[in-house]
Amino acid sequence: MQELTVTGTPQSITTEEYTGVVGGAPGAGDVVDTVLDGVTYGYMVQTGDTVATVAGSVTNACMQGAIDVQIISFVGNSAGGGDAEEVSIAANDYQHVTVPGETAASLVTAFVALMVADPLYDAFAAGDDLILIAKLPGVGALIVATTDGVQFTHTATNPVVGTVANSTWTVTDDSIDTVTLTLDIAGDPGAATCSGSVTLGTGTTTWNPVQTTAGYPADLAIVSSGATSFQHTVQPGDDDDAVAAGLALVLNGSFGFVASATLNVITVTRTDYAAFSFSDNSVQVNPASTMVITPATTVPLVVPTPITDGADLGGVRASQGSLYCELSAGTSYDVSLWYLIGGVWVLDLTFSPTPVTISGTGVLTFTPTGTRIYVACSSFVGGAVATVTALTNQ
């Protein structure tokens, strides 16, 4: 027989989590980027945005997809007019022939008017800049501007790249200023990464999510006897008692082992009474875990071997029994009960813990079964002299 004692604080699976606060004073043109597992989900701040609306837009960009934003900046003017300037959005071409006195700002206004019904993008004028914002999140369309190169030139940027919604993080906000990003793959962060940054436009927006909970797999409570191992995965809410119960459940009935748990102590025997010894091979990755399984010294059981050992129950099915235990010297001893069932001696594991350590005088109850009963005393301490009398209600 061996006792395995579970102590410490087992850790169940934990989930990678980050929290960020949108701060500063959002201004039009600030680009707020959130990078999840190497993919950027951006949002360009609009006029009138607050930290609350920016937080909500960060959430939407991650969960619904980032909305593509492209900007074409025009430079120049037209004294005589007559030159064709063009912007293409996917298969839709928009052409404007300059008029005398045309400026970059009026050229932008003309393109906004031409694009009012574009199916893919909404067009906005911001001085000399033509801002094109996709109507739907996802991958952006190819946008190409063609200028004459004499009256007007241009540069194109893509401050927010349209990106489809992420599939491995859950992102929520509190409708005030705080965004929480939780990895869906609990306990297995792997290469998971999360970061944030801001490219300022006209505001002072700040955004930098930080890790609040590290993701770790659950502790594995593992005990091994020789080449045979038994494992219980720590579940949410498990304490040392629950781990002991779970491990006893795995042990009991496997490879000849019989196990039961009382609080955080597992008692293990074998149906064939062969010698065995367990070791703790548990796996704890979470640094918060202090779980330890301590195997006690293996106690050889006093096993009845001949079927004539013990006392004959005479075929009477007694429903209750009592052990009257007396100690006339020494300090303590162990007592266990066996029943002969079908020609095989079986240890009474309901007589828990088995064996029971006796000191002084006591009365222990048991439920007899089988055809014979055997009382075994062992592990005498201090030269104990024990008298044990077993009586049934029959």
Query: 266 exposed, middle or buried (CB, 10 Å; 0-12, 13-18, 19+)?
Result: buried
- The whole-angstrom separation of Cα 196 and Cα 192 is 14
283 within domain boundaries: yes
Given a cut of 70, is residue 164 above it in pLDDT? yes
* Overall number of domains in the chain: 4
- The whole-angstrom separation of Cα 168 and Cα 347 is 52
Same domain, 201 and 335: no
Q: Residue 355: what pLDDT?
A: 66
Hey, which of 40-54, 183-197, 362-376 has the most confident mean pLDDT?
40-54
Last residue of a domain, one of 118, 134, 160: 160
Structure confidence at residue 111 as a pLDDT band (50, 70, 90): very high
Given a cut of 70, is residue 299 above it in pLDDT? no
Structure confidence at residue 353 as a pLDDT band (50, 70, 90): low
Q: How far is CA 31 from CA 39, 160, 309, in A?
A: 15, 7, 86
From first CA to last CA, the distance across the chain in angstroms is 31
Q: Residue 274: what pLDDT?
A: 76
Q: Residue 265: what pLDDT?
A: 93
Q: For 330-353, what is the mean pLDDT?
A: 77
Q: Residue 303: what pLDDT?
A: 67
Q: How far is CA 282 from CA 224, 230, 259, 279, 293, in A?
A: 9, 10, 18, 9, 8
- The whole-angstrom separation of Cα 389 and Cα 309 is 16
Structure confidence at residue 344 as a pLDDT band (50, 70, 90): confident
Q: Residue 302: what pLDDT?
A: 66
Q: Residue 224: what pLDDT?
A: 96
Last residue of a domain, one of 239, 260, 295: 295
Pairing label, strands 311-312, 385-392:
unpaired
* DSSP line for 261-292: EETTEEEEEETT------EE--B--STT---E
248 compared with 337, residue with greater pLDDT: 248
Given a cut of 90, is residue 205 above it in pLDDT? yes
Q: Residue 300: what pLDDT?
A: 63
- pLDDT above 70 covers a percentage of the chain that reads 95
Same domain, 261 and 151: no
- pLDDT above 90 covers a percentage of the chain that reads 64
Q: Which residues of 125-157 are buried (b: 16+ CB within 10 A; e: fewer)?
A: bbebbbbbbbeebeebbebebebeeebbebeee
Q: Residue 391: what pLDDT?
A: 83
The owner of tokens 């075929």 is 315
Given a cut of 80, is residue 100 above it in pLDDT? yes
Structure confidence at residue 301 as a pLDDT band (50, 70, 90): low
Same domain, 49 and 111: no
Q: Residue 334: what pLDDT?
A: 78
For residues 237, 240, 243 and 245, what is the CA-based torsion angle, rounded to 10 degrees? Answer: -110
Query: Which CATH number does the domain housing residue 103 bear?
Result: 2.60.40.4390
Structure confidence at residue 225 as a pLDDT band (50, 70, 90): very high
Same domain, 228 and 268: yes
User: SS3 letters for 365-392?
Assistant: EECCCCCEEEEEEEEEECCCEEEEEEEE
Q: For 250-267, what is the mean pLDDT?
A: 92
300 within domain boundaries: no
Same domain, 77 and 152: yes
- The whole-angstrom separation of Cα 166 and Cα 41 is 9
150 within domain boundaries: yes
132 within domain boundaries: yes
Q: For 348-354, what is the mean pLDDT?
A: 64
Same domain, 61 and 168: yes
Give the structural domain span for 328: 311-392
Same domain, 44 and 80: no
Element of type H or E holding 219:
none
Q: Residue 36: what pLDDT?
A: 96
Last residue of a domain, one of 179, 213, 247: 213
Element of type H or E holding 172:
strand 169-173
Q: Are 98 and 39 a contacting pair, CB within 8 Å?
A: no
Structure confidence at residue 65 as a pLDDT band (50, 70, 90): very high
303 within domain boundaries: no
Given a cut of 80, is residue 357 above it in pLDDT? no
Same domain, 172 and 48: yes
Same domain, 185 and 59: yes
The owner of tokens 């606060």 is 21
Same domain, 54 and 172: yes
Q: For 153-177, what is the mean pLDDT?
A: 96
The owner of tokens 């607050």 is 50
SS3 assignment, position 186 = coil
Same domain, 223 and 369: no
331 within domain boundaries: yes
Q: Which of 76-85, 151-160, 227-236 has the lowest mean pLDDT?
A: 76-85
pLDDT digits (tens, 9 = 90+) for 16-61: 999 999 999 999 999 999 999 999 999 999 999 999 999 999 999 9
Element of type H or E holding 363:
strand 362-366
Q: Residue 354: what pLDDT?
A: 58
Structure confidence at residue 281 as a pLDDT band (50, 70, 90): very high
Same domain, 223 and 98: no
- Mean of per-residue pLDDT scores for the chain: 90
